[in-house]
Amino acid sequence: MSNTPILQLQEASIFQREHLVLSDVNVEIYHGQFVYLIGQTGSGKSSLLKTLYGDLPLKSGVGNICGHDLKSLKDKDIPFLRRKMGIVFQDFQLLTDRTVSDNLLFVLKATGWKDKKKMEAKINEVLEKVGMATKGFKMPYQLSGGEQQRVAIARALLNDPELILADEPTGNLDPGTSEEIMILLKQISENGRAILMATHDYSLILKFPNQTLKCEDGKVFMAVQSSL
């Protein structure tokens, strides 16, 4: 594990417009670490993740992520920040009007890839990683929820991110499929990527124990497994 955190917040405040959601947030995540983010509905998990991917501004405190200073982040910097991280959502957010491969091609083109052969090779590589190598020709609606989430994870891997932010990635999946997705995410973190995953699913946390941050009463603290 490298000594420089891939994500660091110090005395950070998380706001939704004027509304203070979390204060005095201190978090460090290093390469290859898998960390859960838990807390009740409305406790601030999504707001924290949104601040980390530049969807909400960091108004006070210190924030560094994937080599970017969140405090001085400008709109024009956001695409560059997002290229260094993968983001996975509960509802997959695939483009419904094109195939799996074309979903991935769209992201590669949007992030500056030009060489057709390299793009094809990259698409095959990420689909292989998530066990979807034979399904590139399918439309999203022809896939199960678990398969759609695998494609969304493949999409998150396209630019070899050092960090993956996942906002309830198993929220729409049945328990068996959720476990399959967890095994996939675990493999990805074992290959050196850091993962911060918001979840409500305590059974997954018990089955796949990792460091856990909890949002509660406007603060974020390290939770002890036995107290979850």
Ligand X SMILES: Nc1ncnc2c1ncn2[C@@H]1O[C@H](COP(=O)(O)OP(=O)(O)OP(=O)(O)O)[C@@H](O)[C@H]1O
Binding site for ligand X (CB under 6 A): 16-17, 19, 21, 39, 41-47, 215
What's the closest the beta carbon of residue 17 comes to ligand X, in angstroms?
6
Whole-number Å distance between alpha carbons of 31 and 196: 11
What's the closest the beta carbon of residue 91 comes to ligand X, in angstroms?
12
Whole-number Å distance between alpha carbons of 169 and 182: 9
Kind and range of the H or E run holding 88: strand 85-89
CB closer to ligand X out of 4 and 40 = 40
- Nearest residue to 92 via CA among 54, 47, 159, 147: 147
Q: How many residues does the chain have?
A: 228
**Angle, nearest 10°, between helix axes 145-157 and 100-110?**
30
Q: What are phi and psi of 47, to 5 degrees?
A: -60, -40
What's the closest the beta carbon of residue 50 comes to ligand X, in angstroms?
7
CB closer to ligand X out of 39 and 140 = 39
Cα 51–chain centre separation: 12
CB closer to ligand X out of 46 and 159 = 46
CB closer to ligand X out of 3 and 41 = 41
Question: Residue 3: beta bridge partners?
Answer: none
CB closer to ligand X out of 58 and 215 = 215
What's the closest the beta carbon of residue 47 comes to ligand X, in angstroms?
3
What's the closest the beta carbon of residue 36 comes to ligand X, in angstroms?
13
